[in-house]
Amino acid sequence: MRTKTSAAPRAFAVGLALASALSAPACIQTMRMVPPRDAGQLPADLFKLHVDVDLAPLTIEVPLLRVLGGPKPITLSQEKRDTRSDFNAIIREFEAAPAAERSYGARIDYAAALLFAGRFADAVPVLLAIEREHPGQYATASNLGTAYELIGDLDSAKLWIAKGIERNPGSHVGTEWLHLAILEAKQKLKTDPNWLRSHTVLEGVKDRTRGEIARALEYQLNERLYFIRRDDPVMCDLMFEAAVTTDDGVKRAYFLKQVSRFGNLRDAQLRKLAQG
């Protein structure tokens, strides 16, 4: 999420925000980027994303990858353009560059561009090579976790997301614990496709406050909304939890609206919703 500079190497971790440039959901009507109101409370790489929903504008924080070589963030919009072309250009530029110019930061950027371009499997060996040559970097671990999740290797995804947390506990505004819980739920669903009928993604979370859970749900869901379009039981469960955890009425309405995109509420969830 660093802009290209001549002084310092660029290194950023895309996490699951990577697919935000691949497909914008139909529920989003208009978007515009503005700087955070209180930059002191947010990481420098966060912008505010204004999403128009039926009831009222909803402001959500999401990480945005900045276009390499320029100061402007990639715009997530409904314009008729293929954002993958931006990343393909980055890929071509890197592959054409002399080997001497392929610094750690440039290689991390290249791997991230592969992920944004949908070339998940191609990114894995690139990132593993980076880890061998420059061990211990957060961006490498985070992007490896993302790549492995996107190719369906959940064991490896958990391993690398956990390493990313060890290397930088505050990454993704300190919400990567929820990313691990999501991966664990996906593993259980692989074994038992009906697991979520009697369980929840958050059932094992015991050491987080309601506020921490609400913030983590909002952050992680908005990283995933742009590439998980519909019919996803994990997203359905998390949208419901986000709705009943938030104290913001507009966000509650928004999350409840999204539930139907990804699945159906269970009887226990309907009862919980009725109880307020």
Residues 191 and 159: their CA atoms lie apart, in Å, by: 19
* pLDDT value of position 140: 92
| Residue written as token pair 């539930």 | 259
For the segment 220-271, what is each residue's pLDDT rounded down to a tens digit?
A: 888 777 557 678 899 999 999 999 999 888 888 888 888 888 887 776 677 7
**Banded model confidence at residue 95, pLDDT cuts 50, 70, 90:** very high
- pLDDT above 90: residue 161: yes
If one counts every other C-beta atom within 10 angstroms of the C-beta of residue 149, the result is 21
**CA atoms within 13 A of residue 48's CA, in its CB half-sphere:** 12
Q: Answer whether residue 28 shows pLDDT above 60.
A: no
What separation in angstroms does the CA of 193 have from each of 92, 189, 196, 232? 41, 5, 8, 11
Give tens-digit pLDDT for 35-80.
Answer: 333 333 333 333 333 333 333 333 333 333 332 222 223 232 333 2
Q: What is residue 226's predicted lDDT score, i.e. its pLDDT?
A: 55
Q: Is the pLDDT of residue 162 over 50?
A: yes
Is 85 a residue whose pLDDT tops 60?
Answer: no
Confirm if 146 and 15 have CB atoms less than 8 A apart. Answer: yes
> Which of 30-44, 170-184, 196-210, 219-233 comes out lowest in average pLDDT?
30-44
Q: What is the pLDDT of residue 24?
A: 32
- E-strand stretches of the chain: 33-34, 46-52, 57-63
Question: Superfamily assignment of 15-269 in CATH?
Answer: Tetratricopeptide repeat domain (1.25.40.10)
Given the structure tokens 């009906």, which residue do they identify?
194
Q: What percentage of the chain has pLDDT greater than the value 70?
A: 67
3-state helix, strand, coil in the chain (%, to 5): 55, 5, 40
Residue with tokens 């697991």, as numbered in its chain: 195
Cα 92 to chain centroid, rounded: 25
How does residue 130 score in pLDDT terms, banded at 50, 70 and 90?
very high
Q: For 52-66, 72-86, 87-101, 127-141, which range has the lowest pLDDT when averaged over its residues?
A: 52-66
Q: What is the pLDDT of residue 84?
A: 54
Strand order in the sheet with 57-63: 33-34, 46-52, 57-63
16-41: average pLDDT = 32
